[in-house]
Amino acid sequence: MQRLIKKLDWLIIRSFVGPFVVTFFVSLFVLIMQFFWLYMDEMIGKGLSIWMLVQLLVYMSATLVPLALPLSVLLSSIMTFGNMGENFELVAIKSSGISLLRFMRPLFYFIVFLSGLAFLFNNNVIPVANLKALSLLYDVRNSKPTLNIRPDQFNNDITGYSIHVGSKDEDGNTIRDIIIYDHTDMSGNNKVILAKEGQMQASPDKQSLVFKLTDGWRYEEGFERGTHDYTQTRVHFAKWNKVFDLSGLMFKRTNEDMFKNAYQMMNVSQLSQNIDSIKRMRGRIYYTIGGHMQPYITLGNATKEGDKLTANVKKAKNTLRKYDSSFLERIPDSARTSALQTAIGNIRNFKSLMDVSALDKKLQTENYLKYDIELQRKFSLSFACILLFLIGAPLGAIIRKGGLGMPLVIAVVFFMIFHILNITGEKLAKAASVAPWLGMWMATLILLPLAFWLINASRNDSQIFAKEAYVRLWRHLKTLWAAKKDTIA
């Protein structure tokens, strides 16, 4: 019997690994395509090389693994147990005295091991992949499009110039009816170049574009320096080479060190250190506020002026209670305006200092939430593999359908529920409506009871997904309704 159980353990693991590998790469491919559809408009026309696109693809694939892994675990779990239920293998195993929980145990250990690997991946690989992917994506989104001069259209891609070409020959280099507005001196259309035809050629290093113009005119107008004389200049040329600098259109990489302090680029240790630092900085804000208050509120302060004022107030306590007018009326008329201006100035200065402290506290709170949410994410997404396995395995045993039909539909529905709950919890945590740990574990806390209920239902051979059960229920309700109508009649 023990040997049989070992064979069953290996059977369930082998049956799971195949669908898991396939569904993982399919899920990853779908998520990558979603990324390209989202950023396709920002990448088209940027002159990116194939190698650059491959790098972006690899880095983004790594960042999407934590999301593709739980989905593949859910789908492969439903497929594996659904195939066994459809082929009556689960019935045979249960009839031999082996419970469903015992049958799920080897896969549960495997998923726990997989969750551990997912955490290591999230902690060590994802920060580096995020750094590479987001810095490259930043450069792609901020790079200028490649130069594309089209006939009968103005082109403003080259900084400081507006170029219009009447027509282009089939060779793509010969251009005719050229108009070039030079805006480099920021004075409007005071410099214009006209030419009947020319040739476009790029320099060998691709840093410059040369227009070899023939039979044209150069017009320039403006005021002479040091005088108010308005001048107009017209120069004819038979041949002239106009050189445009294309260095601003070249794709440039930003130093990755600029992105290293972002929370997406940190592991658990770095996130914990930053959270501790923010907590200490938030504690210092209250001492800073006290320092701001001290020059303006001397009553009770440990200063000579404060002690003197406090003592005077205590001595005149009874006298102060007999005041029947405002404090301003006690001030001489000659000093009243000055006192009011001084008080208003002090209040404004104090308010400005408080606004700075309040803004500092707000920024520290936002950073704290970002770091803590990212810290919780590394654990919650790893545990999501276990959660979705506990949902998928009993679901497959209940529906007893294999393949990519019903299992795929049910897996997508449950994963969408998990994803929506996860996003909702994250948004609530970012808005400080709930604690970061509660927001990031909200999906788990809601779906874990459902997983235990499904496990119990599968152990009792529940018919919640069987069509025949609902057909019988409908017929029973129709019979009851008909009997009730006969009774009333």
Domain definitions of the chain by residue range:
2-143+380-429+438-482, 154-249, 266-373
Cα angle, residue 426 at apex, residues 422 and 430 outer, rounded to 5°:
175
Most confident of 311-315, 372-376, 459-463, 471-475: 372-376
Read off the pLDDT of each residue in 269-278 and give the average, rounded to a whole number: 87
Read off the pLDDT of each residue in 441-457 and give the average, rounded to a whole number: 88
Read off the pLDDT of each residue in 105-116 and give the average, rounded to a whole number: 89
Beta bridge partners of 213: 198, 240
Residue 47 has pLDDT above 70, yes or no: no
Is the pTM here over 0.85, yes or no?
no
Q: pLDDT band for position 361 (50/70/90)?
A: confident
The whole-angstrom separation of Cα 8 and Cα 106 is: 9
Q: pLDDT for 296-306, tens place per residue?
A: 665 545 555 44
Return the higher-pLDDT residue of 4 and 100.
100
The whole-angstrom separation of Cα 116 and Cα 110 is: 10
Most confident of 279-288, 411-420, 441-450: 441-450
Return the higher-pLDDT residue of 26 and 221.
26
In the prediction, which pLDDT does 113 show?
A: 92
The whole-angstrom separation of Cα 448 and Cα 398 is: 18
DSSP 346-389: HHHHHHHHHHHHHHHHHHHHHHHHHHHHHHHHHHHHHHHHHHHH
Residue 32 has pLDDT above 50, yes or no: yes
Return the higher-pLDDT residue of 231 and 133.
133
The whole-angstrom separation of Cα 485 and Cα 480 is: 9
Other CB atoms within a 10 A radius of the CB of residue 335 amount to: 10
Q: pLDDT for 329-342, tens place per residue?
A: 767 777 778 878 88
Residue 196 has pLDDT above 80, yes or no: yes
In the prediction, which pLDDT does 296 show?
A: 66
Which tokens belong to 273?
Answer: 């250190």
Other CB atoms within a 10 A radius of the CB of residue 88 amount to: 11
Residue 348 has pLDDT above 60, yes or no: yes
Which tokens belong to 379?
Answer: 């654990």
The whole-angstrom separation of Cα 431 and Cα 435 is: 10
Residue 403 has pLDDT above 70, yes or no: no
Q: Which segments within 140-207 are labelled E, that is strand?
A: 154-155, 161-168, 174-182, 191-202
In the prediction, which pLDDT does 300 show?
A: 47
For the chain, give the mean pLDDT.
Answer: 77
Read off the pLDDT of each residue in 278-295 and give the average, rounded to a whole number: 74
Cα angle, residue 20 at apex, residues 19 and 21 outer, rounded to 5°:
95
154: left (phi over 0), alpha (psi -120 to 50) or beta: beta
Q: pLDDT band for position 1 (50/70/90)?
A: very low
Read off the pLDDT of each residue in 440-447 and give the average, rounded to a whole number: 91
Which tokens belong to 133?
Answer: 């992917």
Q: pLDDT band for position 281 (50/70/90)?
A: confident
Q: What is the CA radius of gyration of the chain?
A: 37
- For 293, what's the count of Cα atoms within 13 Å in the CB-facing half-sphere? 13
Residue 269 has pLDDT above 80, yes or no: yes
Q: pLDDT band for position 322 (50/70/90)?
A: low
The whole-angstrom separation of Cα 49 and Cα 114 is: 36
Q: pLDDT for 224-256, tens place per residue?
A: 665 666 677 778 888 888 877 766 555 566 667
The whole-angstrom separation of Cα 406 and Cα 397 is: 13
Return the higher-pLDDT residue of 252 and 128.
128
Read off the pLDDT of each residue in 194-206 and give the average, rounded to a whole number: 78
